[in-house]
Chains A and B, each alone.
Chain A
Amino acid sequence: MIQPVDEDAPERPRLATRELSAFFGRSRVVSNVTLGFRDQEVTAIIGPSGCGKSTLLRCLNRMHETVPGASATGIVTLDGTDIYAAGVDPIAVRRHVGMVFQRPTPFPTMSIRDNVTAGLKILGRHAPRGADAEDVVEGALRHAALWDEVKDRLGESAIALSGGQQQRLCIARALAIRPQVILLDEPTASLDPLSTQKVEELVYQLKQDIAVVIVTHNMQQAARVSDRTAFLLMGDLVETAPTNTLFTAPRDPRTEAYITGRFG
């Protein structure tokens, strides 16, 4: 198979995969994907259901291997270092590459404030305290465009929030540990249109600082929020290009068939 060529790629992406394959038991769900993700860019991964886009995403912070029987081969580099190399702690990887899931997952026993600092508490004595902690909470909630809605009730339970607010809280929680990359796995799949719009605006803000990777089954969303788009089909990377190019002048006939709605 011919590897997709991407002439517009700058030299050194923040996060990159090389010949990445992912498996559940013996079945291969992602095949030899080589792809780069750059700072200040939103990369969308699109494709029909079951094409392996979530699995590909979960390989980027070593969450894939937490499922029993799951494994991955190939290389994923973060700032040039292979995160699958022997001796690399997956926990350290996940602190640099944050993740937000399809459904909001606030910790139900914790307050809004404690949810934001949940990722910091495990630092033990290095965790920020008092005024420092309050700064982190405010910064992360402002960053996630949630501060104005919750600033007067930080002590309340996180499950009292609406679905859209919960999802932005999860984004704030992921941002609080200052990751270099954030992975969004269909972050608006369970949200209403208004909440979806807020999260999409937020994605645009996020890329000012870090690299953003978003998996979506919604092509309009990919077109709205991303700078680059990668099209995945049956675990193969069919094509990757600047979003405008991919949606207006796809090189591969399969990409064209998908974006014009002939399958998927």
Chain B
Amino acid sequence: MSALRRRKAGNIVMLSLTYVASVLATLPLLFILFHLLQKGASTVSPDFFTHMPRPVGEAGGGMSNAIVGTLILIGIAGAIGLPVGIGAGLYLAEKRTGALAMTVRFLSDVLNGLPSIVLGIFAWQFLVRPFGNFSALAGGIALGAMMIPLVTRTTEEMIRLVPNSLREAALALGYPRWRTSLSVILRTALPGIVTGALVAIARIAGETAPLLFTAFGNQFWSTALREPIAALPLQIFAYAISPYDEWHAQAWAGALVLIVIVLVISLAARHVTRARFGSSTD
């Protein structure tokens, strides 16, 4: 009887601990969101999205250049990170045990853990210094390199979830191997891969360190790929360390917009995942 009571008490204690832990896990996000809404919401107006930054001392203005810049950087990063990552993931899933596959898998895990500032310095060394100027292209490539290992590993995991019987069914119909991989395996795994891609994009959208030495930031309107370009995280950084109250307000607003962008992408990822796993019967 006392053993049973002890087990029940232990159960309650452990349950409470996990409950507290799960609340603690969501607390930072909630705290940040509330704080940002408090500090930034009043500055976010239609103007914030459509206007350029104003000089110090003038009220109003926006971050249209930084918002567009971030979208351009995400575009370049996606154009590099998605095809390379998905291709590599497909290779890893199809050639599980080859020496090359093992090496690539290990290296992509290392790349995944690489501090992003290191990646930025490397991008500066090879993409900025030789050309003599900072550029959107260099920033996009640095972000793309960050995306590759994320996309590679999720693609591999998603493809591995496709049952082998589907591969066999396609081969037995006379599908060539490459066609089996593309039309059946990749297509079946696509919703999962899209989710992984969106998560990777959400992850790089807020990266600052790789852009410090590459995209550099730009006070003016620029969409040229070979020129320095503004980006939300850089603009937030620049405004936050400035001594002006107007700029501080702008930084809070920029942070709020950035976090909303990331939130929207994450929600889209969840939606795609649910579409995939909700409708399937097996």
The answer to whether A173 has its CB under 8 Å from any CB of chain B is yes
Cβ contacts under 8 Å, B279 to chain A: 157, 159
Cβ contacts under 8 Å, A170 to chain B: 169
Number of contacting residues on A, CB 8 A?
26
Contact with B along A84-114 (1 / 0, CB 8 A): 0000000110110011010101011100000
Chain B 158-199 residues near chain A, CB threshold 8 A: 165-166, 168-176, 179, 183-184, 187-188, 190
Contact between B280 and A122 (Cβ–Cβ < 8 Å)? Answer: no
Choose one: A63, A108, A160, A177; the contact of B171 (CB below 8 Å): A63
Q: Which residue of B lies closest to A183 (CB)?
A: B172
Chain B 172-229 residues near chain A, CB threshold 8 A: 172-176, 179, 183-184, 187-188, 190
Contact between A122 and B188 (Cβ–Cβ < 8 Å)? Answer: no
Choose one: A92, A99, A105, A177; the contact of B166 (CB below 8 Å): A105
The answer to whether A59 has its CB under 8 Å from any CB of chain B is no
Cβ contacts under 8 Å, B190 to chain A: 109
Cβ contacts under 8 Å, B188 to chain A: 107-109
Q: Which of A66, A173, A177 has the most CB of B within 10 A?
A: A66
Contact between A94 and B165 (Cβ–Cβ < 8 Å)? Answer: no
CA–CA, A118 to B173, complex, Å? 8
Q: How far is the CB of B165 from chain A (nearest CB, A)?
A: 5
Contact between A174 and B174 (Cβ–Cβ < 8 Å)? Answer: no
The answer to whether B281 has its CB under 8 Å from any CB of chain A is yes
Choose one: B165, B169, B176, B187; the contact of A109 (CB below 8 Å): B187
State which size class the interface on B falls in. Answer: 20 to 34
Contact between B165 and A103 (Cβ–Cβ < 8 Å)? Answer: yes
Q: How far is the CB of A254 from chain B (nearest CB, A)?
A: 31
Contact between B172 and A61 (Cβ–Cβ < 8 Å)? Answer: yes
Contact between A63 and B176 (Cβ–Cβ < 8 Å)? Answer: no
Q: Which residue of B lies closest to A166 (CB)?
A: B281
Contact between A99 and B172 (Cβ–Cβ < 8 Å)? Answer: yes
Choose one: B168, B173, B282; the contact of A119 (CB below 8 Å): B173
Q: How far is the CB of A58 from chain B (nearest CB, A)?
A: 9
Contact between A94 and B168 (Cβ–Cβ < 8 Å)? Answer: no
Q: Which residue of B lies closest to A102 (CB)?
A: B165
Choose one: A61, A103, A122; the contact of B179 (CB below 8 Å): A122
A101 and B169 in contact (CB under 8 A), knowing A109-B188, A122-B179? yes
Cβ contacts under 8 Å, B176 to chain A: 91, 122
Contact between A98 and B172 (Cβ–Cβ < 8 Å)? Answer: yes
CA–CA, A122 to B176, complex, Å? 9
CA–CA, A2 to B6, complex, Å? 72
Choose one: B168, B174, B179; the contact of A105 (CB below 8 Å): B168
CA–CA, A101 to B280, complex, Å? 20
CA–CA, A105 to B175, complex, Å? 15
Contact between B166 and A107 (Cβ–Cβ < 8 Å)? Answer: yes
CA–CA, A92 to B190, complex, Å? 29
Cβ contacts under 8 Å, A174 to chain B: 172-173
Cβ contacts under 8 Å, B170 to chain A: 107, 118
A94 and B171 in contact (CB under 8 A), knowing A108-B280, A109-B190? yes
Q: Which of B172, B179, B280 has the most CB of A within 10 A?
A: B172
CA–CA, A118 to B174, complex, Å? 10
Contact between B169 and A105 (Cβ–Cβ < 8 Å)? Answer: yes
CA–CA, A170 to B190, complex, Å? 22
Chain A 115-143 residues near chain B, CB threshold 8 A: 118-119, 121-122
Q: How far is the CB of B260 from chain A (nearest CB, A)?
A: 32
CA–CA, A101 to B281, complex, Å? 19
CA–CA, A217 to B165, complex, Å? 20
Choose one: A95, A157, A159, A160; the contact of B174 (CB below 8 Å): A95
CA–CA, A92 to B174, complex, Å? 7
Contact between A63 and B174 (Cβ–Cβ < 8 Å)? Answer: no
Q: Which residue of A lies closest to B282 (CB)?
A: A159
Contact between A107 and B172 (Cβ–Cβ < 8 Å)? Answer: no
Cβ contacts under 8 Å, A92 to chain B: 174
CA–CA, A91 to B174, complex, Å? 5
Contact between A119 and B174 (Cβ–Cβ < 8 Å)? Answer: yes
CA–CA, A160 to B279, complex, Å? 9
Chain B 134-180 residues near chain A, CB threshold 8 A: 165-166, 168-176, 179
A122 and B175 in contact (CB under 8 A), knowing A109-B187, A109-B190, A159-B280? yes
Cβ contacts under 8 Å, B281 to chain A: 159-160
CA–CA, A98 to B174, complex, Å? 9
CA–CA, A177 to B174, complex, Å? 9
| Given A94-B173, A119-B174, 13 more pairs with CB closer than 8 A | A101-B165, A107-B166, A107-B187, A107-B188, A108-B166, A109-B188, A118-B170, A121-B183, A122-B174, A122-B175, A122-B176, A157-B279, A174-B172
Q: 15 pairs across A/B with beta carbons < 8 Å?
A: A63-B168, A63-B171, A63-B172, A91-B174, A91-B176, A92-B174, A99-B172, A105-B169, A107-B188, A108-B188, A122-B174, A159-B281, A170-B169, A173-B173, A177-B173
